[in-house]
Structure 1
Amino acid sequence: MLNSISSDGCGFCRSTAFSSTSLTETQKRYCQIEKELLAVQFGLLRFRQYVYGQKVTVESDHKPLVGLLEKPIATCSPRIQRMRLQLQRFDFRLVYKPGKELFIADTLSRAPSPRLFTDDVTQDSEDQVHHVLHSLVTSVSTRKRYAEATALDPTLQLLKTVIQKGWPEKRAQCPASVKPYWSVRSDLSMVEGVLLCGSRLVVPMSLRRETMEGIHDGHFGETKSVLRAKSAVYWPGWEDQVKNMVASCSVCQENRGRNPKLPLHPVRLPDYAFQLVSADLFEFERVNYILLVDSYSKWPCVVPLKSTTSSAIIEEMSRFFCDFGRPEELESDNGTQFSSAEFREYCASLNIKQVTSSPEFAQSNGLVERHIQTVKRTLLKMFAEGKSLWEALAAIRSTPVSGSLPAPSVLLQGRNLRGVLPFLDASLSPKLVPASFVRQELSRRQQTAAFVQPRPPSGSSSVAVQSAVARTARPVAGVNTPSGQSSVFQSSAQQESTPVRSVEAPSRPVREIPASPARLLVSRIPVRDRVVWVPPSASSGQHAPVAALGVTRSGRRYIKPPPPSQ
């Protein structure tokens, strides 16, 4: 029915023309939403001499049709795509109007004319629909198998009935087995006994296992498998099932690559001392220790433990908190001492937030892990000199954190600790370090550690220094001999009996030192235990002459160049 609205501004509507047609046998098998769009197409094409080039408002009592026309054409079913392409020549706007307000069209639709118009172009869409189906499933046997499986699937048969009769207004009114298809109801269509969701096949239950195997053919990853399935098939919950299939594939798991390293996120910076602390246990020389570090001042608290139970940890923690106050946040690993209910209750009673690091990822608790290395290294050296744990802690606490941050004792207590260093009286008097300055420096150190990368290793040769006492070799900067070969420092007792061992280049870049006397290497090994050994010449098979050692007037030791050859 074609209505015209008066132009005098009163909005009077007058019927201009009427037309109707009967559906063909093919059109009767359309789903309800396709029939509704077919009615719109028939009306615009039938009255094209009136509406072509004009802005037209089309009223329909089928509300899902309004949302269907707002979707991209490529996402619609093939038949709806064809209809929408034919309607693109018209400038129309589709609006929803309840059926009780369309009483004239509703009345006339109950007595349609059996006449079929010869200029009906809707039949042309069937060729395009069948072409799409044949392009999706090229094999005739496969199409027949999908049609037979669809006919034997009770859920899809009920879905066919709902599509033909039309979807209800609300999801709750749908049958329970059809509700999973509610979100794609406007994309569903039927062609030759096969259900389509847009341009994808709706897979029956009996063929889903076979389809899953075809999706995972080639053992692609999760993303590629989902894309393969998305391009051809559909059923409710297909995406989760494809992801689970890839995750449970033993072949894929055995040959999967390593997970990429996640970017490091900066940790929270404290505002004052002992606001954020980190704790961990470590063992040194068969003795267990507990280490507590303040992230603001880097002040370490270390005590030996008689037991590693939660009760022993709580007892030592109580002593630390008595001296320095209760922190706001305590970070630790997931050890049984820290993850026990007793320790959690202890932290809750003191109003301390307990944070645990990721399992098997010690880097997330890097503050205490790095201090464990420092404490172990210091204990190893100071125990060798016969000193105690407390002397080692005093040395760490009185050493500046960096070139811009003072010692932990100054950051925590505002003063230097009186010890082996001869401090002036002014240096021992209390002084305040502004918290804003400390936070700024901590932020700068954090950014430097995250973004400044070490230089790549150079190709210079390395040599090994062997101590006469420890007999351990360590790589140092290369020394070029007159013959262009690297030299090796060794003990005089081992000079003749110990062969030269090749030393791999260190991970840190080394520096070439020319053979000039002004730039020669100075070793920390005493002179009496140090000689230079030059590898034998390849041509003569004899040892090269040994270079002599000298001492300058200022006391600096150097290697004398060999005398000129005769």
Structure 2
Amino acid sequence: MSKKLTDIPNTIVFIDNIYIKGSSLQDTWDTLCKVLTKLNECEFKLKPEKCKLFVTSLDVFGFRVDKHGVNIIKSNIEPLINAKAPTNLTLLKSFLGKLNYYSRFLKNMATIITPLYECTKKDKFNWTPECESAFKLIKEKLASANNLKHYDPQLPLILTCDASDTGLAAVLSNRDHNGMVQPIAYASKKLNDVEKKYATIDKEAMAVIFGITKFYNFIYGREFELETDNAALVRIFGPTKSIPKMAAKRLQHYAIFLSAFNYKVRHIKTSLNPADFLSRTAVDVEEENINVIHSLCASTNLSNICHVNDSEMESLNWKIIQKETKKDQILSKIIRYMVDGWPDKTNLPKELLPYFNRHIELSVDRGCVFWGYRLLIPSVLRSSVLTELHRSHFGIIRMKEIARSYFWWPNLDTEIDEISKNCIVCLQNSKSPSKIQKPWPIPPSPWYRIHADFLGPFNNKMFLVVVDSYSKWPEVFEMSNITSGRTIEAFKHIFARYGFPVHLVTDNGRSFTSSEFQDFIKMAQIKHTFSAPYHPATNGAAERFVETFKSAITKIKEGGNSLAYAINLFLSDYRSTPQRTTGVSPARLMLGRELRNRFSLLRPPPLTEDIYNKVQSREQGNRETKFEVGQKVMVKDYRRDSKPWVQGLIIEESIPNVTYIVDVEGMRWKRHVNQMVTCSDLLDLG
């Protein structure tokens, strides 16, 4: 039949079926007459009851095809939609087999039915609540499957790819003349156990290769747009750029494979990606803020994140506190009462009572009022101090601990409580209370037992987190990769700074369990303990810090700051803040002193520092020691029976601002500035 009807346009023969199409009723009629005439000439016979003429849609292999596209025949999927939950592996595999036939209509299918696939592993049927939820959800998706458009080679072609922790996805679409993107087909694939351990960028790259191979017949030989929400792949797979030499071998192989295709790669936001699998909450951060890399982090593959103090509070210091205290009506009264004596409590207004209750402990230093070691902030500056206090987005308890170490005013605790309640960033990112865990034994000294863990991918980066169990002092290293070699290099940096600990606690990651890392630990004679499998809470110190780190960095970044700024600010404040478990700051226990930070500027310098500066200034004197060549000076004369000073003319500068060559009566003398004094240019040297 194919050979006999091959010359008739708009006619397709598939096995024993003949399909005829036409743009109009007359066009279809003319084609039908040609087909019937040809079949009559070849003596083919047709059964009238099997012929369907002049219909607007065709039912083919369980799909309904019309001018709008391809859809599922609802009557064919009713047994699947009405199916009861499987009770054994045979029924479950049968359901999955039938479901796969309609995969091109189901977006995110591989991720949704992951619990069902897990149920088929090791031939052990275990129907869990997750399986039940996935079973109901996939039936709802199937019942509401959208119509797929026909592939049009004349319209721009778009391939959108994405990956999740459990699967890959691709969407093939056309962009019509109105700019609307219309899906042609969906495709998805479940990752195996090995592929699930790949890095995020490798999974995203696999999704691109999967989408191209899946829709190879549509895209090979023609130009198409490749969309991904991974910015790094745009640079690596960009057809106008060379393959990066430092990219992983797997990504280089993928890039070579893609060189055979004609495409333009484009980065899209995750929230706009129709192939997005990821069940995570999208953070609305501007792209330029994400791509900012601090020079400290960019200078090396292994970057130690230091506590660099970068604050907008530099204009607020103790001199401004001193100035505003004099203007503040309440604090100026407090100072007067401290000099002249306090009146009876019953004669004081209500706003002065909190100060009266503490009047024995109040003192004045350089015009600033103190309650013990806490500075009393004037009312006009309190909002600025509160804003700076909340810049790290710490919790209420931690903010109160910072405040109690530096400043005070009435109702301060209440105002701190209101900060978090009125901060939308804190409310959106608040976490549930932590579970109670059996604590580790208290180590006898700092850097005795340390806890280490990997954090990430977080903002497309991996970090090594190390926390000292005694002082809670944290160290954070940005890692280019988490191989054993890189991990050992990071620990060498830490051990060079603080020495070898006695005890190291980690999880069971391959970087820590490798023979290379174990040899390194044995060489340093460090006891190495692993957390229990599937129980990360055993490594509690590192796990808790990881949660605090991610939460705080996310909130600081949402304030419009770069990642490097957020990390530096967080570490600086965390190390300076008293811990709830120890009652003192990590810096005090680890270094034996407090770190000088932006809140330290609120306090006047110690009196000893002022005295030292005055004495040093007096010892140095205020004499002008700047001389110039050609200048007349008086220089010290050490000749016997001569006057102490003699006139001379500077002819050369030996050591700038220190020693000079002076012409004295035709002789060249070298003199120090302490052996020279200025004199009038009108004096006669003769």
Is TM > 0.5 for Structure 1 vs Structure 2? Answer: no
| TM-score, L = length of structure 2 | 0.24
Larger Rg: 1
User: Which protein has greater RCO, CA pairs closer than 8 Å, 6+ apart?
Assistant: 2
